[in-house]
Structure 1
Amino acid sequence: MVHESAGGSDGGPVELRHLRVFLALAEELHFGRAATRLHIAQPAPSQQIKQLEQDVGAVLLERPTRQVRLTGTGAAFVGHARRVLAEIEHARESVLLTECGERGEIRVGATGAITWRLLPRAARTYRERYPPVRMELHPAVFSGAHIGALHDGRIDVGFLRAPVPSGPLSSRVIVNESLVAVLPEGHPLAHQREVPLADLSSESFVSYPSMQGSALRDAAVHACCSAGFTPRVMQEAPDTHTVVALVGAAVGVALLPASAESLQFEGVVFAPIAGDVDVRVPIALAWRRHDRSPVRARFLDTAEEALPGPPAEPTA
């Protein structure tokens, strides 16, 4: 570990202050001017050079008078001394930037189609402000995977479907996305401006797997139950693309977030849900509550500016 010293080959460790004195003498070639430049009193430079020469095991300067000359070994040592001091300065700067959250790494989890539309807003601003920070993106199909990754420390923040379990995680809702009915083009309800959810009670549904922690499946089931029925899932699919493709193949209908319409599958119609059934799915930014990383804090601050969240609902 580097303190204020670097390893020598003979005596004790070479002190960085001795290297600074040596470089000042190598450039000034005069003890008085070197002392003035370093804001130290005589005879400190002479004593420190003697200690440096003892540590490296070689004569670096000839001292016939107060004027000095570099020996051949001293001339060769100049480059080494400059590199050591430059590396120490670089290390100090890097540590300072890391402590300020301006250097390091941020691992960001992203879930679902709307996440990939929201994330760039925050990411662009963040990268403009903190270009030295490396941003690593971790995609996942279901929010459950990112919740586990947050707990385990495999990601630092995650864009995922709410609700986010309380406890060690904190979260902030970014947007409330509506669920829409996804119907085969030839379905009797396909060309209605809005579809009453209760009208789908007898339909076969295509949905996400029940055992994979899908907040979207849970929201769809909850919406159907609010409309008075439990959806009959005919087939499960591992991701949104496959769900929409199966609807297009007339396997069944589905409830998906409105952002799924951007997939633009042929033979599929997306229709808003009619009535006052709550079919919103919150998108949240989540992080570990006790993570004090300055890099993570800077990312959250930037995300709050770029994605301030949905407006507050009016109270009765």
Structure 2
Amino acid sequence: MEIRWLEAFIAVAEELHFGNAAIRLRMAKSPLSQVIRKLEHSLGTDLFIRNTRSVELTSAGHAFLPHARMVLEDLELAQQSVKVPDGVVYGHLTLGFTGVLNQRTLPRFTRAVRDTYPEIELSLVGRVMTQDAIAQLDAGTLDLAFVGLPTDSTRTETQLLLRERYGMVVPTEHPLAEQDDVELSMFAEERFITPPIGVGSVLYEDTIRACTNAGFHPIISQQITDPYMSMMLVAAGVGVAYLPEGVDPVVPPGTVFVPLEGEPVYLNHGLAWSKLRSSPAREAFLGLVEDVLAEGL
């Protein structure tokens, strides 16, 4: 088995298209197919399901992918080790986050890593919902992820970072925009903008649960993954959005964040990582958590 075979496999697995993977690897499509065949022959199993319209990973391909990535990452670390002085923490971390919901946590942690461990290369992956984050942590495509808590995974560790009380984002001309003592039940006839139902979003689950507890099921007018785009749709008059108070400083023009009275409901921001794998770089990142929390978010 050759390193270039693993590089080819990862490219095809990520692109799910031999032509795009060939362009990415700067090689012709036919030699790439031959490399994949050699890898499959050496493993004794097919890694891809191919037809004229699509390419998909087999179950063996899904199982092999995180290990292939780890081999290349270990090789990169080995090459880096000869260039870094003893005692210096180095490596590469991939961190998943949702988007505007992490606008208080993400900058603090990335800045702390950059200042304390400049030899750690940090890659950020945006628009990662909690359920997808857990799956990617299991697969090894993410090292850490900001998630909504709680999660139901037994293969990940989590730590609570921040709690934010929920409120409503409404258009500035909304009748409740300037009122005091606003309760969620007052929005029973409104159209809501939420994350999609099937993406494993804690925000979606919290929205449905809170509305149900307030005595109604929300009328959903639009479902969109990006919370900031949800607020843009609020500004456009498409509906209202149930969001945590941390978005208040970044609401777009034409919208306002309205705090809710009554029993408070919180979005619990957490950090998650896999129990099954570790690295000095990840442990160094986790070691910064208490320092960042002590400084305040």
TM band (smaller chain): 0.5 to 0.7
Residue 289 (structure 2) pairs with residue 303 (structure 1): yes
1:190-232 deviation per Cα after TM superposition (whole angstroms, max 9, x unaligned):
1113421111112221211111111111111111112122111
Judge conservation of contact 1:201–1:230 (CA < 8 Å) in 2.
yes
Letter in 1 for 2:293: L
SS in 2 for 1:193: coil
Q: What RMSD, in angstroms, separates the aligned Cα atoms of the two structures?
A: 2.7
Judge conservation of contact 2:148–2:267 (CA < 8 Å) in 1.
yes
Judge conservation of contact 2:134–2:153 (CA < 8 Å) in 1.
no
Judge conservation of contact 1:100–1:295 (CA < 8 Å) in 2.
no
Report the CA distance between 1:128 and its aligned residue. Answer: 2.3
In the alignment, structure 2 segments of 5+ residues that lack a partner are 1-77
Q: Which residue of 2 aligns with 1:289?
A: 275
* Cα distance, 1:243–1:122 mapped onto 2, change above 3 Å: closer
Judge conservation of contact 1:101–1:297 (CA < 8 Å) in 2.
no
1:260-306 deviation per Cα after TM superposition (whole angstroms, max 9, x unaligned):
23333222121001111x42110100000132322111110112221
Letter in 2 for 1:172: Q
CA distance in 1, matches of 2:152, 2:120: 29
CA distance in 1, matches of 2:100, 2:172: 22
Report the CA distance between 1:147 and its aligned residue. Answer: 1.8
Residue 143 (structure 2) pairs with residue 152 (structure 1): no
What is the TM-score with the length of structure 1 in the denominator?
Answer: 0.63
What is the TM-score with the length of structure 2 in the denominator?
Answer: 0.67
* Cα distance, 1:154–1:179 mapped onto 2, change above 3 Å: same
CA distance in 1, matches of 2:157, 2:99: 20
SS in 2 for 1:292: coil
Q: 222, 245, 258: which one pairs with 2:232?
A: 245
* Cα distance, 1:229–1:95 mapped onto 2, change above 3 Å: farther
1:61-140 paired onto structure 2 within 5 Å: 94=81, 102-140=89-127
Q: 160, 181, 186: which one pairs with 2:168?
A: 181
* Cα distance, 1:218–1:263 mapped onto 2, change above 3 Å: same
Q: Which residue of 2 aligns with 1:162?
A: 149
Letter in 2 for 1:271: V
CA distance in 2, matches of 1:162, 1:309: 22
Larger radius of gyration: 1
1:226-269 deviation per Cα after TM superposition (whole angstroms, max 9, x unaligned):
21221111222232232112222222222112222333322212
Bigger mean CA offset, 185-194 vs 91-100: 91-100
Judge conservation of contact 1:240–1:260 (CA < 8 Å) in 2.
no
Residue 207 (structure 2) pairs with residue 220 (structure 1): yes
Q: Which residue of 2 aligns with 1:199?
A: 186
Q: 128, 133, 142: which one pairs with 2:129?
A: 142
* Cα distance, 1:224–1:131 mapped onto 2, change above 3 Å: same
CA distance in 2, matches of 1:300, 1:99: 21
CA distance in 2, matches of 1:275, 1:238: 28
Report the CA distance between 1:123 and its aligned residue. Answer: 2.3
Aligned residues: 220
Judge conservation of contact 2:101–2:227 (CA < 8 Å) in 1.
no
CA distance in 2, matches of 1:96, 1:172: 34
CA distance in 1, matches of 2:217, 2:80: 60
Q: Which residue of 2 aligns with 1:67?
A: none
* Cα distance, 1:121–1:242 mapped onto 2, change above 3 Å: closer
In the alignment, structure 1 segments of 5+ residues that lack a partner are 1-90, 311-316
CA distance in 2, matches of 1:94, 1:224: 53
CA distance in 2, matches of 1:183, 1:245: 10
CA distance in 2, matches of 1:117, 1:269: 19
Judge conservation of contact 1:182–1:271 (CA < 8 Å) in 2.
yes
* Cα distance, 1:98–1:150 mapped onto 2, change above 3 Å: farther
Identity between Structure 1 and Structure 2 (%): 33
* Cα distance, 1:225–1:97 mapped onto 2, change above 3 Å: farther
SS in 2 for 1:290: coil
